[in-house]
Amino acid sequence: MKTIFRSGLIPAIACLLFLLSSCVKDEVTGIKLNNQQLSIKLGQTDSLEAVVSYSGEMNNAPVTISVGDSKILSASLSDTKRVQSGSSFTQRIVISSLAPGTTTVNISSGSRSITCTVTVTQTTLTMEQSLVVNYGVASELFDNNICSMYLMPSSFTVDDSLGNISGTGQLVHLELLLSPSQLAPPATTFKASQADIANTFQAGYYYTYNDQSIPMGSYMVDLSSGNVSYTLIKNGTLTVSINGSAYHIEGDLTTETREVIHITYSGTISVKDQREKPVSISPNFTKGELYYVGDLYNMNLSDTYVAYLETADVDLSSSTLNGEVLVLQFNTYQGFTSYIPTGTYRMMTKSALSSFLVKPLTLVPGYIYMPGDGVYYSRGSWYYDSDSRRKLTTGSVTLNWISGSSYQIDYTLYDPIGSTVSGSFKASLPLKSLRSAESNRFDSEVKTGKGFRSPIQFEYKALGK
């Protein structure tokens, strides 16, 4: 009898286990969240982790989510694969805030569900004083006025040199672009841009100098903890309305952390005019050089020359500029390879240049170009002296080819702030060389006693190619 019992024990247990296992249901047995109360700031995102427990073969159970108020936030399943652990798996859920308020996110799988309450908050800064400093066309990268607008609490002060800011709390600095005729911000809505467009503000960025990151463009300054910290403003809008001398400024600004901060200010604006005043310049050019470039733009529209008009003491091969130089980029009729034909050459518009509509009898306006090597190049028409440089953007030149390399050139040209460079040149412009495709760059570096300035440089290859 003992032997018979032992021989029948194993089959009996196996049968029992089979019966028990066949009774395990395939079902979700529970859902847990790592957080059932969540608070996030407007514009930012956060995430939840749902741990789904199951029995049987429910490791592939679908997870669904729904939001109580889709105007306040959105929720979606993360692209990350589920993390399996025994008889449970973890699903990540991404929460994106859309508007201030409180709502719920419901997570379901099988017959189980769980809810998370999410509150979206927005930081509002109500400012009590404003200062606008108009620097005019302070950068050669722009044709519009550059303004610093400071919106700040009453505790803040900005000294006369604008180099030191003191106070307690948070300050907003917006780098506005205004048209050359505007001193103070007009009634309009400013949007973020990185282009030279009037009535916009420049998005913030960091500039590295001596291994330090310096905020540029638009940014926030926080002095609330006694230490100075900066947060870039990358996007947003700011609406300005004016009633007499009273301003109302309000908008939503997006920071580098994607937080959307509401800004409001009501009151007068203090404006400091730091714009450079227009001047009249009448150089005495007595010599020069001429370079033929050919069909620079590869459009079969014109051929290009670059002329350098110089005062007597200028030596372009020197590392120091003593005197004055006028650089003119002429677009001529095609086929004139040894001299510039007689005619009146008018400055191209900015839009024509950007479209490469370089027709004959035109001048290319001055501008800055960086081809990708980290160096800024001066392009088009410029005026230089030992202390300054001016890009020339409007005006005309009447040129009379006399014979050989002799020219009569009468010019009246303007920079973006309205300064005039005018005069008459009658002398020889010897043609230095015909540039080959291999020799595609001519660099004449110019230094001053104030340090290295952007050089007189011209790129002998098709722009934007």
Domains belonging to the chain, first-starting first, are 27-121 (2.60.40.10), 124-273 (no CATH), 280-459 (no CATH)
CA–CA separation, 305 vs 287, rounded Å?
Answer: 16
Express each pLDDT in 394-421 by its tens digit.
Answer: 999 999 999 999 999 999 999 988 999 9
CA–CA separation, 374 vs 351, rounded Å?
Answer: 25
Is 435 in contact with 294 (CB distance < 8 Å)?
A: yes
69-71-77-79 Cα dihedral, nearest 10 degrees = 180
Amino acid 301 reads: L
Asked if the model's pLDDT at residue 97 lies above 80, the reply is: yes
Query: Could you tell me the pLDDT band of residue 2, with boundaries at 50, 70 and 90?
Result: very low
Asked if the model's pLDDT at residue 346 lies above 50, the reply is: yes
| Closest listed residue to residue 290, CA positions, set 397, 389, 406 | 406
Express each pLDDT in 120-133 by its tens digit.
Answer: 999 999 999 999 99
Express each pLDDT in 264-307 by its tens digit.
Answer: 999 999 999 999 899 999 999 999 999 888 887 777 888 889 99
How big is the chain, counted in residues?
465
H or E segment at 407?
A: strand 406-414
Express each pLDDT in 358-408 by its tens digit.
Answer: 899 999 999 877 665 556 677 889 999 888 889 999 999 999 999 999 999
| Closest listed residue to residue 351, CA positions, set 335, 338, 362, 336 | 362
Q: How many CB atoms lie within 10 A of CB 268?
A: 11
Mean pLDDT of 43-47: 95
Phi first, then psi: what are they for 13, rounded to 5°?
-65, -40
CA–CA separation, 4 vs 11, rounded Å?
Answer: 12
Query: Could you tell me the pLDDT band of residue 436, with boundaries at 50, 70 and 90?
Result: very low
Determine the pLDDT at residue 455. 36
Task: Classify residue 237 as exposed, middle or buried by CB count within 10 Å of its CB (0-12, 13-18, 19+).
Answer: middle
Q: How many CB atoms lie within 10 A of CB 255?
A: 22
Determine the pLDDT at residue 106. 97
| Closest listed residue to residue 37, CA positions, set 116, 114, 115, 100 | 116
Determine the pLDDT at residue 137. 87
> Can you tell me which residue has the tokens 């973020």?
192
Determine the pLDDT at residue 322. 85
Phi first, then psi: what are they for 35, rounded to 5°?
-160, 125
Mean pLDDT of 181-189: 95
Query: Could you tell me the pLDDT band of residue 26, with boundaries at 50, 70 and 90?
Result: confident
Q: Which of 8-17, 289-298, 386-395, 437-446 has the highest mean pLDDT?
A: 386-395
The pTM (predicted TM-score) of the whole model is 0.74
